[in-house]
Structure 1
Amino acid sequence: MLIIPTSQGLAQERANRIALIIGNSSYPDASTPLSTTVRDARVLADEFKRLGFDVELQENLGKEEMKRAIAGFTAKVQNGTEALFYFGGIGLQAGRRSFLIPVNAQIWSETDVTREGVGVDDLLAELNRRGAKVKIIIVDAARRNPFERRFRASPAGLAPLGAPDGTLALFSAAPGSLVTERDGEQTSILVTELIKELRSPNQTAEQAFNRTRIGVSRASNGENVPWVASSLLDEIYFRGSG
């Protein structure tokens, strides 16, 4: 029997797909380690490997380690690359921009946030500058600020995203909102619902993210509603239609 690959399947096979997955949990300033972020990262790394991504998994990175990991990730980008980035940990906003915080961050003021953290907008801009056709970003970092006792309260959650064309983003909460976490979860509701959609054929990546948002809202009884933003110019599939 002759099997003819679908256009989606061919695109998936031919694309240069890379992913950097970071799970940070051990923040000294947090009252306890984050319960699901490392496990979430491991589960997603396995899933994206099955989907044809060249995956690098990193856990509990300090400032310099995060810089090196991201520099190595962006250095792999070529014209036409599909680049996927996941971060689970703590994120803060400063100056209406979102920053991902390493586990050893020394934060005593809002200025420290910009110096110690990794700017989400900066990462997307660098991927775009290097020629990534598709920039996919998944951020689960809208948690209570563990540094708030040291400096004036910053706006809650993360900031709206300034995304270049060709970007698809899934955040665990809308700008300015925080995630409500439950005790005893093996993986976060976000990752649990996302895995379901990644394994569903015949839907675009954007549809998968939108269905993840709906699934999380239902599973949390409306307590958590993820945020999806897209400036994609083509239909992108994680999985071909077979």
Structure 2
Amino acid sequence: MLSNCIKIFFLALLSIQSFAQFKLYEKGHDSYTAGKYQDAIINFSQYLTKPTRDKSLDVEVFYLRALSYYKSGDYKNSIPDFEETILLDHKNKGNIYWFMAKAYDHMGNTKEAIGAYTNALRELNDNKESKAKLFSERAHMHLKLGEQALAYNDLKIGHTLNPANHDIKRELDKLEKHGIAHNNTPTPETTRDGGVVKNADTKKEHTPVNQSTAKADVPAKQNTIKTENPVKKEEVVAQADVAKTESSTTKQVITTSGTTATPSAVVANTLADFYKDEKRFALVIGNSNYPKSIGLLKNPVNDATDFAKELELSNFDVQLLTNATYGQMRAAMLKFKEKVDANDRDKTVALFYFAGHGLQHEDENYLVPIDATIEFEDDIARYCFAVQRMVLANMERSNSRMNIVILDACRNNPFPALTRSAGEQGLGEMKRARGSFMAFATAPGSVASDGTGRNGLYTQELIKSIRKPGLTIEQVFKDVRANVLRLSGNRQNTWDSSNIIGEFYFRF
């Protein structure tokens, strides 16, 4: 009886706490709609520190706090919150990018503003007048950088979309009087780099539309990306395998140019030719320089640096980040996603690699930034980078045919003072995302050593295996597993999980 009373008491206490925290959200929301932006920032900030808050509201809280910062002229602090809302998959990404573009412009960061305008054009729906305004504003950014031809091209597209916009026509006439003209007449669907622009949909205003849930404005409708049926790479791979088998008894093959080549070389050329248009993007992070309270690691920066070099030799466009804070990891993830989204879905591969401290907590795996301040278990979700929610989910939503996630982060629990639920037994298994290949340095629930040489054992063998030409991704990681098992005396068993369709080769 006493036990039941205690349970009821704690449930009632939690209910009271949750209600009190929701009131903070409501107060912040009411302050925002009343134009009291500093009060909104204070309430939203307090809400985000509460360990038992409803985390499903986090994306909206970050969004409204970002708008509060923006509208109070604190553009620098608005940017991280806008980035957080995009990574948390807010439905209003187009207008968020638009606000980011204007914030960057206010800060004098013109190149970043151009990138944000480009992302806004990609995300927003069809509204010719608003789309014309976006092109016009991006043109002004180009003019600030002295890129008159690009500015003219944007203004020309804007004028084509909305001939009634006299401001755009006036700017266009100015450039034409100065002899600035593009040789090709642009169409509304063409960007300065030849890519397809998704149409914009905002209200007829000179600033982005303010949008939120509940009492705030109605979110813009997002564009549904239509893609053609993917090319069946399996058929080409199968044909290459058949060619390899059929020619196994022949020492030389006559090529179309009349020269001779070995059968394996012919197969390699066939694969290389087929994948020659594939775009490959990688975000590689290595964190070593942790404070003593977390535990300094020797290898991760070396691992990330060396792995990044190997990926570049495999035609990857690589973002390398070492000893990264949470903010740096968040910003890098956003830029990585933007690069992937700007390319053809059927011909794009995205790869994420992390070496450093990692742990599992409440059915989620977390990567530890070097500035993580963890005193209580709930700090993990606030100060560490969630793999499922922030990495894998964003890659799944991105414009890639295949996502590869490699985690050399199964080292010892960096927060031993916390309870066992905070990840004492390495990383946990993750839900499979669409078209994803996930690789771990060791099996779920196990830990791996940091290593004694320049590289950790896992990354050391991974680098060796991806250098071998003609191996599919599955064959590469089988090779890694066999070598790591052998060299660790069967103590470290690597792990991977896959639901990819088609093939991938690091080297041909």
TM-score (norm 1): 0.92
CA 1:60/1:169 → structure 2, altered by over 3 Å: closer, same or farther?
A: same
Equivalent residue for 2:316? Answer: 53
Q: Matched residue of 1:34: which SS?
A: coil
Runs of 4+ with deviation above 6 angstroms: none
Deviations 1:193-223 (A, max 9, x none): 1112111112101110111011111111112
CA 1:87/1:182 → structure 2, altered by over 3 Å: closer, same or farther?
A: closer
Structure 2 unmatched ranges of 5 or more: 1-254, 260-265
1:157 aligns to 2:426 (yes or no):
yes
More strand by share: 1
Equivalent residue for 2:331? Answer: 68
**Which residue, 200, 222, 226 being the options, matches 2:468?**
200
Equivalent residue for 1:120? Answer: 387
Q: Is the 8 A contact 1:165 1:233 kept in 2?
A: no
Distance, in Å, in 2 between the alignment partners of 1:29 and 1:231 is: 39
CA 1:13/1:30 → structure 2, altered by over 3 Å: closer, same or farther?
A: farther
Q: Matched residue of 1:57: which SS?
A: strand
**Matched AA of 2:466:** L
Q: Is the 8 A contact 1:15 1:82 kept in 2?
A: yes
* Structure number with larger C-alpha Rg: 2
Equivalent residue for 1:171? Answer: 440
Q: Is the 8 A contact 1:29 1:147 kept in 2?
A: no
Equivalent residue for 1:24? Answer: 287
Cα drift, residue 75 of structure 1: 1.1
Distance, in Å, in 2 between the alignment partners of 1:12 and 1:47 is: 18
Distance, in Å, in 2 between the alignment partners of 1:124 and 1:10 is: 30
Q: Is the 8 A contact 2:295 2:414 kept in 1?
A: no
**Matched AA of 2:371:** N
Q: Is the 8 A contact 2:434 2:500 kept in 1?
A: yes
- Compute the RMSD of aligned alpha carbons: 1.7
Q: Is the 8 A contact 1:12 1:237 kept in 2?
A: no
Structure 1 unmatched ranges of 5 or more: none
Q: Is the 8 A contact 1:204 1:238 kept in 2?
A: yes
Equivalent residue for 1:94? Answer: 361
Cα drift, residue 48 of structure 1: 0.3
Distance, in Å, in 1 between the alignment partners of 2:294 and 2:427 is: 20
Distance, in Å, in 2 between the alignment partners of 1:97 and 1:11 is: 38
Count of aligned residue pairs for this structure pair = 238
Distance, in Å, in 2 between the alignment partners of 1:85 and 1:34 is: 20
Distance, in Å, in 2 between the alignment partners of 1:32 and 1:117 is: 15
Q: Matched residue of 1:213: which SS?
A: helix
TM-score (norm 2): 0.45
1:43 aligns to 2:306 (yes or no):
yes
**Matched AA of 1:92:** L
Equivalent residue for 2:492? Answer: 224
Of the two structures, which has the highest relative contact order with CA contacts closer than 8 Å and spacing of 6 or more? 1
User: Percent same amino acid at aligned positions?
Assistant: 34
CA 1:103/1:51 → structure 2, altered by over 3 Å: closer, same or farther?
A: same
Q: Is the 8 A contact 2:299 2:451 kept in 1?
A: no
Q: Is the 8 A contact 2:299 2:450 kept in 1?
A: no
Deviations 1:117-158 (A, max 9, x none): 222112111112122111011101111122221x22224111
